[in-house]
Amino acid sequence: MLTMSSRITRHKVGVGLLGSGVVGEAIQDLIFEGLQGHVGADLELEIRKIYTRNPSAKKWFAHRPELFTAQAMEVIDDSQVEIVIEALGLQDAADLPIFRDYILRAFEKGKSVVTSDKAVLARYGKEIWAAAQQSGRQLRFEACVGGGIPVIRSLTESFAVEEPEAVFGIVNGTCNYILSQMEKSGKPYAEALNEAQQKGYAETNPTADVSGSDAEAKLLLLTAVAFGLQLQPGTTWRKGIEDIHAVDFRYAGRTGSSTIKHLAVAKRSDSAVQVFVSPVLMPQDNLLAGIDGATNAICFKGRKSAGPRCDRDCDYVLVGPGAGGGPTAMAVLGDVCELARAKERRFAGLPSLVEPGILTAQPENDIDGSFYVRFIVKDRAGIVGDIGQTFGGLGVNISEIWQLRHSGEELQTLARSYHLKENPEDILPFVITLERATLRQVRDALDSMRNRDYILVDPVWFPIWSAR
């Protein structure tokens, strides 16, 4: 009698690895330290070559020096490599075209590609997907968004019957960790950032994370999958978290019953899609308000093709570790296994829930909503009236004015953090919330009052979250 194991033919898959950084090393750990028991009895993943700029400095070089090379083409051109994994990790924007060329070369050589490099796809996605289609090879990029969260697979398979209304969420763990620490402990931004760096949640140069460019790259991929829009980096509205101050959490929590989260948002409005990355004032009863630390959470809102639109915030929430070598490596190898098990499947381009060309991106200045605006001004009469008139002259109504009682110590802390020369007792922080307005209206109003002699600090402003 044949046993189950004797009836299964084990398929060996040759893998070439570009990159031996955090993700690349985690992939090596998983394969060299016994991943096989987790990918099933039908597959055997075998790393044939590993490219890295400095092989001898890498963890696994001493054990398997024959696998390492300082020449990327040795990996791509290896005849025994069936699938190329691109996990190089962006250090400099000048590397992007080089990484793109590696992927294109892999397609030319008849190999499919799995990548964790969202920056390359965000910048060169259209060219890369066209090359995949022309070569008849496949591209997988689950690890590009949400680390270990299976969001791309969920959008293209589990939610495929839904017509997308919105996809949004917390997609950068560094920003979420910093904001969480500022809220919980009242730490200033610089101190929370330093802590994130010490714990490995933020890079030595954190610009890509805190400026929102990392979140933007992920959002562009989500927007392409959900809405069929292939947008370029720098063409969408993007705000980082650098201007958020501990005082903003005081106003958000004590007066607004809210918190502040950094979101990536693609939200449909008729035949247009609002696409933006920004801090938002998030009600405390929203699920995303409770996402703490470096965790990511991505929401999907849709409707059945023949069903009505709903005012609910979202239908599905995917929560999990959004970064780190382990979760990202698992997502990469999940894609590798899917390719290895479904060779007859010839998906080569970008999946989309909406036929490309049906929707357009809403112009940035037309994006609308309610807004939080925090001022720090000289404490004198008539200022609120002047601000109200300025907004009113542009057709924007003030909804509420929030003013907390600040202790002398709090005012001194504010004055020090903004390097103000004024006596702390003579400064006045307060918040106004605006009724629905466009970005153009808000920007024009703030630009017109920026040089008023009572303005001590550039106003901090961002949207108030709404399911609409």
Q: Is residue 342 in some structural domain?
A: no
Binning pLDDT at 50, 70 and 90, where does residue 350 land? low
Model pLDDT, residue 2: 45
Same-domain check for residues 130 and 271: no
Q: Which of 342, 361, 380 corresponds to the end of one domain?
A: 361
* 208 and 317 housed in the same domain: yes
CATH number at residue 376: 3.30.70.260
Q: Which of 113, 140, 167 is the last residue of a domain?
A: 140
**Residue 330 domain-assigned (yes or no):** no
Position with higher pLDDT, 159 vs 272: 272
Is there a single domain that holds both residue 124 and residue 270? no
Shared-domain flag, residues 290 and 393: no
Whether residue 344 is contained in a domain is answered as: no
**Residue 115: which domain range?**
8-140
Q: Are residues 270 and 410 in the same domain?
A: no
HSE, CB side, 13 Å, CA atoms: give it for residue 88. Answer: 25
User: What is the structure's pLDDT at 311?
Assistant: 58
Same domain? 219 vs 247 = yes
The average pLDDT across 452-464 equals 96
On whether residue 332 sits in a domain, the answer given is no
18: CATH: 3.40.50.720
218 assigned to active site:
yes
pLDDT in tens, 202-257: 888 899 999 999 999 999 999 999 998 999 999 999 999 999 999 999 999 988 89
**Residues in a beta bridge with 431:** 374, 402
Same domain, 159 and 101: no
Is the same domain home to 165 and 260? Answer: yes
> Where residue 324 falls among pLDDT bands split at 50, 70, 90?
confident
Residue 347 falls within a domain, yes or no?
no
Banded pLDDT at 418 (limits 50, 70, 90): very high
Looking at residue 148, what is its pLDDT? 83
Mean pLDDT score of the chain, rounded to an integer?
A: 90
- Residue 287 in this model has a pLDDT that exceeds 90: yes
Residue 467: per-residue pLDDT: 66
What value does the mean pLDDT take over residues 17-36? 89
| pLDDT computed for residue 182 by the predictor | 95
Same domain, 291 and 168: yes
Q: Tell me the range of 10-14, 88-92, 315-319, 351-355 where mean pLDDT is highest.
A: 315-319
* Residues 190 and 297 placed together within one structural domain of the fold: yes
Do 302 and 389 belong together in one domain? no
Please state, in angstroms and rounded to a whole number, the distance separating the CA atoms of residues 356 and 130. 14
The residue-averaged pLDDT of 298-322 equals: 76
Q: Which residues contact 377 (CB under 8 A, 6 or more apart)?
A: 383, 427, 428, 430, 454, 455, 456
| Within-domain flag for 393 | yes
Number of domains the chain contains = 3
Domain contains 340: no
The CATH number covering residue 254 comes to 3.30.360.10
**Given the residues 49, 118, 218, 261, the one annotated as active site:** 218
What are 169-212's pLDDT values in tens digits?
999 999 999 999 999 998 999 999 999 998 888 888 899 999 99
Going by pLDDT thresholds of 50, 70 and 90, the confidence category of residue 38 is low
Q: What local confidence, expressed as pLDDT, does residue 100 receive?
A: 97
Q: Same structural domain for residues 188 and 85? A: no
In a domain, 91, yes or no: yes
- 387 pLDDT above the threshold of 90: yes
Domain termination residue (choose one: 140, 163, 189): 140
What pLDDT score was predicted for residue 199? 85
